[in-house]
Each structure stands twice: as structure tokens, then as C-alpha cells.
Amino acid sequence: MKTNAIFYHAGCPVCIAAEQTIANALDPMKYDVEIVHLGNDKARLQAAESAGVKSVPALVMDGAAFHINFGASIEALK
């Protein structure tokens, strides 16, 4: 059975492409991936908090919140 995976972010300009790597890497046979921009879509904040999201970017799946920190490459900051 497919379950939902929700990728929460807030528009970090350096990291967003890399972070979506993770969302795109999930098995499409297992997960429907939804991308939520919490900065724009504040109505979703409560659900994110309830799922255990303490910071963004975060991925919620299988009932657990994973907080992902991508170390921006020097190249990306130039």
C-alpha cells in the first residue's frame, strides 16, 4: 500500500534543489510525495508540528519526522 511522504521546507534558495533530490529518490511504488512550503502555506504548520517537525527541511514518513540538514557546497554559495 502506498503511503504519503511529506517534504516540508521554507524556500531555502541554496538547498532546495538538493533537498528535492531526497523527495525524488523515494520509491514511487511505496510513497506519494507531497512538497509543502511552510513559509507560503501556513495553514499546514499545525499538521507539521503534530507530526513532530521541529525545523525545516524535514521529511515526514511512516509516522516519523526526519530533519534533514544539507551542508551547502561552497560552489553553490559562489
Residue ranges in contact with a second copy by CB under 8 A:
5, 18-19, 21-22, 25-31, 52, 54, 59, 61-62, 64-71, 73
The count of residues in the chain is 78
How far apart are the C-alpha atoms of 18 and 56, rounded to whole Å?
Answer: 14
CA 49 to centroid of chain Cα atoms: 13
Residue among 50 and 67 whose Cβ is closer to a second copy: 67
Residue 26 CB, nearest distance to a second copy (Å)? 5
How far apart are the C-alpha atoms of 33 and 20, rounded to whole Å?
Answer: 10
Residue 41 CB, nearest distance to a second copy (Å)? 22
